[in-house]
């Protein structure tokens, strides 16, 4: 491991100042489940590590007027144990809880998962489907960014130098809403997603009134599939509408052949997961 300076600031302002002053050699440390692995593999050599786990705003879960605010550094394990968040956003929670493994969950965070910017990140399609907004703070102050605008390519984000993702806000939504996230991996654990699909729906009197669909691991960044949402909205989620949404997902895929899946397989699975995720989200929507 390389020599690196370590700081643990108590506020976001401090953290931003440290990052901005590090000349591009600063890295944020939340759970470290990507950072430490990359350091040991010799892939990154930060000059400064900024530990954000002492910052209250980044490690808290709170509810404000029906919206949920989740600190970017909250661990998957804490999210797993949060009954209220789980009830409101089961899809987001199950997606975050798929990161890594049981042991990794004790440290991993949604903020880290997003900013590591793997095309196969598990939490991102669910957050995008949820319409989550990221609160970002940098040297030029705070801004709110839809989560789907943060990943810019494999390993790259749209964040400016010195910027940190502080928290995610999951918007309030009407009764009759439900979300779900599914991913396909060859084994039952420990694999990078071959395809991930997040679905968020609102139902009223048997008709879908709102929908968001996101796909992961089938393109350089997460895909918000508007064509799939359009096919679902206004329908009764009948077979024809769902098949049209699945077709839209298959068409939106830009996957590659690699050691984790083939183009043919990923494209097919995008449609399969869409159907299954819609069924779960709809079931949850109906019982809300």
Query: By the criterion CB under 8 A, which residues form the site for other proteins?
Result: 184, 186-192, 194, 243, 258-262, 264-265, 268-269, 272
Quote the least distance from Cβ 272 to other proteins, whole Å: 5
Task: Give the β-pairing of 151-153 and 156-157.
Answer: antiparallel
Quote the least distance from Cβ 195 to other proteins, whole Å: 10
Quote the least distance from Cβ 121 to other proteins, whole Å: 15
- Which is nearer to other proteins, 27 or 260 (by Cβ)? 260
Sign of the torsion formed by the C-alpha atoms of 99, 103, 109 and 113: negative
- Which is nearer to other proteins, 212 or 260 (by Cβ)? 260
- Which is nearer to other proteins, 53 or 276 (by Cβ)? 276
- Which is nearer to other proteins, 81 or 258 (by Cβ)? 258
Quote the least distance from Cβ 211 to other proteins, whole Å: 22
- Which is nearer to other proteins, 37 or 172 (by Cβ)? 37
Q: 54-76 burial string, b = 16+ CB within 10 Å, else e?
A: ebebbbeeeeeeeebbbbbbbbb
Quote the least distance from Cβ 224 to other proteins, whole Å: 24
């Amino acid at each position: 491991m390389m020599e690196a300076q370590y700081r643990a600031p108590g506020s976001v302002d401090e953290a931003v100042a440290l990052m901005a002053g590090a000349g591009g050699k600063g890295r944020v440390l939340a759970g470290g489940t990507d950072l430490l692995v990359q350091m040991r593999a010799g892939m990154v050599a930060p000059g400064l590590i900024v530990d954000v786990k002492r910052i209250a705003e980044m490690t808290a879960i709170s509810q404000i007027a029906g919206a949920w605010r989740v600190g970017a550094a909250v661990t998957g394990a804490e999210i797993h144990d949060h009954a209220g968040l789980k009830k409101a956003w089961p899809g987001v929670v199950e997606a975050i809880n798929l990161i890594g493994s049981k042991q990794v969950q004790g440290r991993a965070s949604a903020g880290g998962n997003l900013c590591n910017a793997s095309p196969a990140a598990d939490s991102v399609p669910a957050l995008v489907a949820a319409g989550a907004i990221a609160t970002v703070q940098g040297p030029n102050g705070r801004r709110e960014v839809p989560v789907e605008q943060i990943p810019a390519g494999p390993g790259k984000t749209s964040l400016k130098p010195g910027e940190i993702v502080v928290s995610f806000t999951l918007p309030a939504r009407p009764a009759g809403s439900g979300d779900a996230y599914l991913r396909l991996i060859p084994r039952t654990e420990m694999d990078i997603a071959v395809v991930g699909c997040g679905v968020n729906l609102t139902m009223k009197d048997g008709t879908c009134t709102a929908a968001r669909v996101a796909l992961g691991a089938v393109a350089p960044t997460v895909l918000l599939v508007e064509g799939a949402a359009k096919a679902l909205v206004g329908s009764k989620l009948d077979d024809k509408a769902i098949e049209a949404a699945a077709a839209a997902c298959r068409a939106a895929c830009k996957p590659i052949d690699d050691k984790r899946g083939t183009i043919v397989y990923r494209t097919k699975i995008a449609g399969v997961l869409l159907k299954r995720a819609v069924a779960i989200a709809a079931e949850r929507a109906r019982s809300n």
